Structure 1
């Protein structure tokens, strides 16, 4: 997983709240078993509308999504995170996230940043007025900055540390591989064992 430290880019102002995982990734597309190849189905129902914000040329290539409150509610569909990343998003900013989405996103390297609604409104207005505006999301300092202001955001130390180091669940566990193998070598042969593949 790619480490996340500081990211600066344009943003998409998604002025919608209560965006659930079925709107992010419509369930009819969840027939594949791969974790990639979903960029074209992100917000598929909305992208069929010509005036949807992500269809506007000025927002093409942006990798920060600024959404309304309660983004990623609903099911535990990991496809939602995969589709956002496949499209190119590295950060989602929202006043509030669905709990499961907020847990799933950092495990894949997608940073969910919670900011007050008034700050989200300010960012929306800024980006709508000047789509080329660059926003910086600094996980090292836990700060979001844009022309004219900078605000802190909270993020738990454990998850932050893993993102800064680029560690997913597997790579975080593999740091203790020698300890695990040493423990397994001391266990009685009659106990169940694990087999390492690959």
Structure 2
């Protein structure tokens, strides 16, 4: 998992409330177990509509998504997080998230930022372009801030463990490998104290 410290760039001014995981990635995309290529199916139904924000060239490759309340509700499919990540989105900002989606996003290196609706409204304005052109948004995970060039500054809360993992680029495997020395000491002790539980080497 890549480290996530700061993210800056355009943001999709999405804003829709109660977006469930079927909207994020329709069920017919769930036949794969690969994390790559799902970006093509991300928000597929919405992208069939002319002028949708996800196919607007102004936001091509945007690393940030601004959404409405209860983002990621519905089924627990991890493919939703995979699809968002494959689309290039590293941060989703919303007033609230489904707990399951938030957990899946974290495990896939996506930062979910919870901000009040008035902050979301302001960031939507910035993303759409106050002066007619979309403006960048800056997220600093270390400082736990979301800022703009217009002197907007919003702070957000995040679980300390999740922050540690995202800053360090640590998934479950990375966390386990961080304890490799201790695991090795334990295994050596077990081999001495209870050799009958150690598999025989062929």
Scaled to the shorter chain, the TM-score interval is over 0.9
Residue 128 of structure 2 contacts residue 135 of structure 2 at CA under 8 Å; is this kept in 1? no
User: How far is 1:159 from its partner?
Assistant: 0.8
2:122 aligned counterpart, secondary structure: helix
Counterpart of 1:175 in structure 2 is: 178
Alpha-carbon contact 1:10-1:134 (below 8 Å) kept = yes
How far the C-alpha of 1:192 sits from its partner, in A, is 7.6
Which ranges of structure 2 fall in alignment gaps of 5 or more residues?
none
Matched residue, 1:116:
116
Single out whichever of 53-62 and 70-79 deviates more from structure 2. Answer: 53-62
Q: Does 1:162 align with 2:168?
A: no
Q: 2:11·2:65 contact (CA, 8 Å) conserved in 1?
A: yes
Q: CA deviation at 1:15?
A: 2.3
* Residue 143 (1) aligns with residue 160 (2): no
TM-score, normalised by the number of residues in structure 2: 0.90
CA distance in 2, matches of 1:49, 1:156: 37
Q: How does 1:1-198 map to 2 (within 5 A)?
A: 1-129=1-129, 130-146=132-148, 147-187=150-190, 188-191=194-197
Q: CA RMSD in A?
A: 1.5
Counterparts of 1:127 and 1:37, CA distance in 2: 26
Aligned-partner SS, 2:36: coil
Q: 1:29 to 1:192 in 2, by over 3 A?
A: farther
CA contact (8 A) 1:59 1:131 kept: no
Distance 1:112 1:161 in 2: 14
- Paired residues, number: 193
Identify unmatched segments of 5+ residues in structure 1.
194-198
Instruction: Confirm or deny: 8 A CA contact 1:10 1:131 kept in the other structure.
Output: no
Q: Deviations over 1:62-121 (max 9, x none)?
A: 110000010011222111111111111011000000001111112211111000011001
